[in-house]
Structure 1
Amino acid sequence: MTDTPSNTPDNDAIPKRSIRSFVLRQSHMTPAQQKAIDTLWPQFGLDFQAATVDLNTLFGRTAPKILEIGFGMGTATAEIAQRLPESDFLAIDVHGPGVGNLLKLIDEQSIGNIRVMRHDAVAVVETMLADASLDGIHIFFPDPWHKKRHHKRRLIQAAFVAMLLPKLKPGGYIHLATDWEEYAVQMLDVLSGFAELRNSAADYAPTPAYRPETKFEARGKRLGHGVWDLVFERIQYEPIKFSNF
């Protein structure tokens, strides 16, 4: 049984890139997850295309649009979408079981404001999203790549944030979360380096009410581990222009 939707690109076909939003891992697709992909993809899935997508047309309404990169098994994504029914969520991940599980949750809980993609989020951002099309971006608990020699593989780097920024409307936000303190420091440093972004807090933000606590987060807290949220807003930024004297 394959864990790749028949009408979505095979992950082997994803070109190698300097920035990637994912790491492919072997994982087992349950029959229920595969069934969800087979039956629900036409309604809630979105195939990659080398053209800009109109998000209002995709969701059938004009509403705030939130991009989520890396939703894992989709449990938090489903809960957030229900807590924020006035917003629409484009959720991207490459791992088959998570894609299937989120589609299953959408069906079981009658969630209408999520669309799912199984593709490299970097390619989606570069190719499919129009400038100023997003009201928010969520990236929760990306792989921290603990070893120092692997830090270059981390998703939250200046080059990636620079790619995301044009897609955000002025007043839109980027919300990051991590349970790895050293990565939190890097995230704060990266986001603080953009004049177009303003921190909503002095450093790390209180966890917004819409983000539920995951079971892994709760377990970590019981063990004394910290969790850090960062919420930065995009401001209207005009570079200083110097006149010739």
Structure 2
Amino acid sequence: MSEQPAASARRPKGEPRFPGGPVADPAGSHHERRIRSFQPRRSRVTTGQGEYLERLWPVWGLDIDGHGKLDLNEMFDGLPIVLEIGFGMGEATAEMAAADPGTGILAVDVHTPGQGNLLGLAERGGLSNVRVGNGDAIILLREMLEPESLDGLRVYFPDPWPKKRHHKRRIIQPDFLTLAAPRLKPGAVLHCATDWEPYAEQMLEVLNAHPAFENTQPDGGYAPRPAFRPLTRFEGQGLDKGHVVHDLLFTRVAELPSD
């Protein structure tokens, strides 16, 4: 029998949805005039997910409020750190964390059920190398991360925004790459994956053109799926429908171009 929606979803008006858990709008982003690449989704949290949010958020959770720089070295006990933007329900994140306990994963999303699910997976798997961020990854990169603090960046299956008028909302854009590059160490890997062919083509074009990144593929094309990226349930469903998944692996250049 599946879990029922969390009782906290029926809280009295004005009370926090999950006491001690993620807040609805940590950076007050409704005040910021910027086109966004995401839509917050906070419904259908199960009882179990809600319990994980309330109990584990103070331990492993982070609200992206834009106030001050993070000490990632302290947060991850000196591990090399990969930022993952958008993790869905967190199964692939947990699998990668379990397979590579020597790497810290800062996983950021705005999907509340996924946040609770990943916290539960981390606890059950004893994954001390996972932290869960709630909020806008742009604010995290721009306001809260020190230069060259990341050893990698992963953007798996971002919203393709398929309608032409929404293409400006796609996260992999020149401005995003320019923002992210200084937060990555030289040689750090930016790894993207998508099953939306037109978006894959745009990603490849934008990344190949950006002076801060180099394609790991000599032919300048897509990369084979690396063994460390699990085949997710979502991806498997897409493959069953005939979708083609493209991986893109780029490294940050040693010297960033001057402005």
TM-score between both structures, scaled by the size of structure 1: 0.92
Partner of 1:109: 125
Q: Distance in 1 between matches of 2:43 and 2:160?
A: 19
Q: Does 1:159 align with 2:179?
A: no
- 1:171-196 Cα deviation digits (max 9, x unpaired): 10100000001000000111111122
Change in 2 beyond 3 A, CA 1:19/1:84: farther
Q: Which residue of 1 aligns with 2:254?
A: 236
CA distance in 2 between counterparts of 1:22 and 1:181 reads: 19
| Superposed counterparts of 1:27-176, under 5 Å | 27-49=43-65, 50-59=67-76, 61-176=77-192
**% identical equivalent positions:** 46
Work out whether residues 98 and 125 of structure 2, in 8 Å CA contact, stay in contact via their aligned partners in 1.
no
Preserved CA contact (<8 Å) 1:69 1:121: yes
State the secondary structure of the residue aligned to 2:62. Answer: coil
Aligned-partner Cα distance in 1 for 2:176–2:159:
15
Residue 21 of structure 1: how far off its partner (Å): 4.3
- CA 1:115 to 1:159, structure 2 compared with 1: closer, same or farther past 3 Å? same
Tell me the residue number matched to 1:9.
23
Are the aligned partners of 1:64 and 1:134 in contact in 2 as well (CA < 8 Å)? yes
CA distance in structure 2 between the aligned counterparts of 1:11 and 1:75, rounded to whole angstroms: 25
Structure 2 runs not aligned, ≥5 long: 1-7, 10-15
Q: Give the Å deviation of 1:239.
A: 4.8
Aligned counterpart in structure 2 of residue 190 of structure 1, from 203, 206, 215? 206
Deviations along 1:192-234, whole A, 9 cap, x unmatched? 1112211011210111111000112112212221000000001
Partner residue of 1:215 out of 230, 233, 240: 233
Asked if 1 retains the 8 angstrom alpha-carbon contact of 2:42 and 2:113, the reply is no
> What CA distance in whole angstroms lies between the structure 2 residues aligned with 1:73 and 1:126?
25
Question: Given that residues 211 and 257 in structure 2 are in contact (C-alpha distance below 8 angstroms), is that contact kept between their aligned partners in structure 1?
Answer: no
In the TM superposition, structure 1's runs of 4+ consecutive aligned residues that sit over 3 Å from their partners are 2-9
Assess, with a 3 A threshold, how the Cα gap between structure 1 residues 96 and 151 changes in structure 2: closer, same or farther.
same
CA offset digits 1:86-108 (Å, max 9, x no partner): 10010111111000000010111
Tell me the CA shift for residue 46 of structure 1.
1.8
Residue correspondences, number: 239
Cα RMSD of the aligned pairs, angstroms, is 1.8
Preserved CA contact (<8 Å) 1:48 1:124: yes
Given that 1:88 and 1:114 are in contact with CA atoms closer than 8 Å, whether structure 2 keeps it comes out as yes
Q: Does 1:18 align with 2:34?
A: yes
Shift of 1:47: 2.9
* Mapped partners of 1:166, 1:235: distance in 2: 10
- Alpha-carbon distance in structure 2 between the residues aligned to 1:100 and 1:239: 40
CA contact (8 A) 1:19 1:155 kept: no
Tell me the distance in 2 between the aligned counterparts of 1:76 and 1:21: 21
Q: Distance in 2 between the 1:229 and 1:17 partners?
A: 32
